[in-house]
Structure 1
Amino acid sequence: MSSLSRRTVLTGFAGIGAALTLGACGKDDEPAGGGTSAVKVGYIADFTGASLMAIAEEKGLWSKHGLKPQLKVFTNGPLQVQALGAGDLDFGYIGPGAMWLPASGKARVVAINSLGFADRIIAQQGISTIASLKGKRVGVPEGTSGDLILRLALRREGLTIDDVKKVAMDPSTVVTAFAAKQIDAAGIWYPLVGTIKQRVPDLVELAKNEDFYPQLSFPSAYIGRNEVVTSRPDVVRKMVALLREANDARLADLDKAIELTAAFLKAPVDQLRSEARNARFLSSDELAAKSKDGTVTGWLDGLNGLFKELGKLTSEVDPGSYYDAAAYAA
């Protein structure tokens, strides 16, 4: 990332932290302290990716925080980053596998959502080790946490992505392709793993996030469009305040959050409950404290080192260039 772009980022973050005035107002925005701001927000239709949206809807948090949302559902984080770049979204949600995109300057992290442990490498019966994936067809959504866990597991065995026949496909296609035995293995996550297990109960789980934790942590996050962060700090402040309140409501009553999200997504409660068990949720105060003491920076820095090794990043990146801890804590 160039020094110019980093300066631009830090200037925008300083505006968020202060949140005194809007640097530039669109036609739907009002100055700080009054009016309602229209925002386009993306999410993923699973528990970690949609629960805060479901809570915000049920509790009326959008109007409380002066926001008028247009919600859009996506299948993965990279597609949301593309939508941010095209101006079709103001905010979105990404898992850890897509965190290299804000690290490369394509978006800004505005809030950490959770630590994820839902990713798996699964294989058809008879394939019992990561090493035995060599030469096999492995389905994976490109640039997602499924892609990341696959590369991590291969690296641990001294292999690379070139040692398997990687087949890029969207998450829903992974489900159907694995069930039809069109692929030998997949890098995918819960609750989709649970869906696949219903069709292929004898599948084998070869690797999971916990195999690499705590040396590596896997945070999901809400991100903002670069132009929104740099020119509409009051809107970002409102969004972060909403996310913090919804986050604490989720933590205070996880069972209720699961029920709300199931209704929001029109999805089975048990499916979302299995996913929620594979995540760690922290209070907003904990996230603020971990942002201040450098813990979150450590999480992001660990991922950046991995992304550099895997060729996603070409140089070292300071997490402070795309996540402002002070702004979240404020």
Structure 2
Amino acid sequence: MTSSLSLTRRSALGTLAALGAASAFAQGASTVRIGYQKSSTLIVVLKTQGTLERQLAPLGVKPSWHEFTSGLPLLEALNLDNLDFSADVADTVPVFAQAAGAQLTFVAQEAPSPSAQAILVREDSPIKTLADLKGKKVGFAKAAGAHYLLIAALDKAGLSLKDIGQAYLTPADGRAAFEKGAIDAWVVWDPFLAAAQRQAKVRVLADGTGIASYQRYYLASTKFATARADVLDVIYAELAKAGLWVKANPKDAAALLAPVWGIDAATVEQANSRRSYSVRPAVREGLAEQQKIADAFVAEKLLPRKIDALASPLFKPEAAA
């Protein structure tokens, strides 16, 4: 059976080829290859401020940066050994990678942020309830947190994915399709969610509150985690500091991120207000919802096999010891 990750291989080829990184990471290597996406706020803060360049220098290591449009191709790159570390991805994404056999170690997680993703409809849409999605076309990114939010929301309304028309779309393509009426509803996360709310006439049909907790995870290849725990200790510590800074200084954080994201500062501040940015070690009991998510995707025949999410390797940061 073709793995779920292989379904995105064609779309990821250009990104993977552009990485041009060595195929293996050895003890003492001078570069840590970091993958991230626009919603990887804390990594973007560290990248913009040059923090990791400074903090990793004493270890003889420097970061190289690789941006992805969404989490699934990001973790595919990690699985293919084209990255060493993945900035935060939604809780749904690792289960797809694990089902494809990826050797991943959970480095950290952010506390839940359920309102940071939502199902949007146009302001004048006749869709008023989740049940009204039956027979409608809905756009979302495959394997993103938005995908699971949609599954869980439909289930709450007594529906399933079979009851709707599905369109796998990146956030940029989803916004375009939504605005021209090619899809009836769009499931997306911040900062794309905040941008749509402030720039278009939209209505939130449902967010993740009471449906999907939306935790975000930071991961490394297990090989890298074994070889360079010292590097991961530095990254973890700086992510935790960045999370505290963003929440304590919302306007300064928005001013920093706005030109990087190409979004006005007010929109960035709105998006950041819905994310916890509380970075903590990944713990075994915290992966319970991962198992629930994996089982939901298996039931929808979107994963090739069952996985044991609770058996995932966990990294214990020195700062949390």
TM-score (norm 2): 0.78
Does residue 181 (structure 1) correspond to residue 181 (structure 2)? The answer is yes
Q: Residue 205 of structure 1 aligns with which residue?
A: 204
Does residue 296 (structure 1) correspond to residue 290 (structure 2)? The answer is no
Q: 1:140–1:146: 8 Å Cα contact kept in structure 2? A: yes
Q: Residue 109 of structure 1 aligns with which residue?
A: 106
Instruction: Compute the displacement of 1:325 (Å).
Output: 4.7
Change in CA separation of 1:218 and 1:196 when aligned onto 2, cut-off 3 Å: closer
Q: Residue 46 of structure 2 aligns with which residue?
A: 55
Tell me the amino acid that sits aligned with residue 43 of structure 1.
Y
Q: Residue 243 of structure 2 aligns with which residue?
A: 247
Instruction: Compute the displacement of 1:147 (Å).
Output: 1.0
How many angstroms apart in 1 are the aligned matches of 2:69 and 2:271? Answer: 16
Question: What is the total number of aligned residue pairs between the two structures?
Answer: 288
SS state at 1:280 partner: coil
> 2:233 is matched with which residue: 205, 217, 237?
237
Q: Residue 265 of structure 2 aligns with which residue?
A: 269
Q: 1:90–1:224: 8 Å Cα contact kept in structure 2? A: yes
Could you tell which deviates more after superposition, 151-160 or 301-310?
301-310
Q: 1:56–1:246: 8 Å Cα contact kept in structure 2? A: no
SS state at 2:209 partner: helix
> 1:222 is matched with which residue: 218, 224, 247?
218
Does residue 65 (structure 1) correspond to residue 56 (structure 2)? The answer is yes
SS state at 1:88 partner: coil
Q: 2:34–2:84: 8 Å Cα contact kept in structure 1? A: yes
Q: 1:179–1:199: 8 Å Cα contact kept in structure 2? A: no
Change in CA separation of 1:110 and 1:101 when aligned onto 2, cut-off 3 Å: farther
Q: Residue 92 of structure 2 aligns with which residue?
A: 97
Instruction: Compute the displacement of 1:108 (Å).
Output: 2.3
Instruction: Compute the displacement of 1:247 (Å).
Output: 2.9
Q: 2:95–2:307: 8 Å Cα contact kept in structure 1? A: no
Does residue 26 (structure 1) correspond to residue 22 (structure 2)? The answer is no
Q: Deviations over 1:33-53 (max 9, x none)?
A: xxxx3111111113xx13333
> 2:75 is matched with which residue: 50, 72, 81?
81
Identity %: 22
Tell me the amino acid that sits aligned with residue 209 of structure 1.
G
How many angstroms apart in 2 are the aligned matches of 1:316 and 1:28? Answer: 33
Instruction: Compute the displacement of 1:185 (Å).
Output: 0.9
Change in CA separation of 1:263 and 1:197 when aligned onto 2, cut-off 3 Å: closer
Change in CA separation of 1:324 and 1:103 when aligned onto 2, cut-off 3 Å: farther
Q: 1:62–1:242: 8 Å Cα contact kept in structure 2? A: no
SS state at 2:175 partner: helix
Q: 2:140–2:169: 8 Å Cα contact kept in structure 1? A: yes
SS state at 1:78 partner: helix
Q: 1:43–1:73: 8 Å Cα contact kept in structure 2? A: yes
How many angstroms apart in 2 are the aligned matches of 1:189 and 1:244? Answer: 22
Instruction: Compute the displacement of 1:126 (Å).
Output: 1.0
Q: Residue 164 of structure 2 aligns with which residue?
A: 164
Could you tell which deviates more after superposition, 73-82 or 231-240?
231-240
SS state at 1:81 partner: helix
Q: Residue 117 of structure 2 aligns with which residue?
A: 119
Instruction: Compute the displacement of 1:317 (Å).
Output: 1.6
SS state at 1:211 partner: coil
Q: Deviations over 1:118-145 (max 9, x none)?
A: 1111123111111111111111111111
Q: 1:100–1:312: 8 Å Cα contact kept in structure 2? A: no
Instruction: Compute the displacement of 1:28 (Å).
Output: 5.9
